[in-house]
């Protein structure tokens, strides 16, 4: 293989690697966006559960007789 052929082969491989790196970078960026959205949703659920849980665990609700008694 001659020197110009080797150089062309290396340039071609480099171009493919650059494209692969950009594609992987795009995937990581989209995954991070999805993770961020999931974290916001999870935090909202925790907040809402915190609002509901104290009312459900109140002593009056635990000791109260069911209506059919």
Summarize pLDDT for 50-59 with one digit per residue, the tens.
Answer: 998 876 666 6
Average pLDDT over every residue of 2-14: 95
Tokens of 58: 């109140």
pLDDT on residue 61? 56
Summarize pLDDT for 15-51 with one digit per residue, the tens.
Answer: 999 999 999 999 999 999 999 999 999 999 999 999 9
- Is residue 60 very low, low, confident or very high in pLDDT (cuts 50, 70, 90)? low
Please tell me the distance from the alpha carbon of residue 24 to that of residue 34, in angstroms, as a whole number: 15
What DSSP string describes 6-69? HHHHHHHHHHHHHHHHHHHHHHHHHHHHHHHHHHHHHHHHHHHHHHHHHHHT-HHHHHPPPTT-
Tokens of 39: 């974290």
């Amino acid at each position: 293989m001659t020197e110009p052929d080797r150089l062309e082969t290396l340039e071609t491989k480099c171009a493919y690697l650059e494209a692969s790196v950009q594609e992987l970078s795009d995937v990581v960026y989209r995954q991070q966006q999805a993770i961020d959205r999931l974290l916001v949703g999870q935090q909202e659920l925790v907040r809402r559960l915190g609002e509901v849980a104290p009312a459900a665990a109140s002593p009056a609700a635990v000791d109260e007789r069911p209506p059919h008694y």
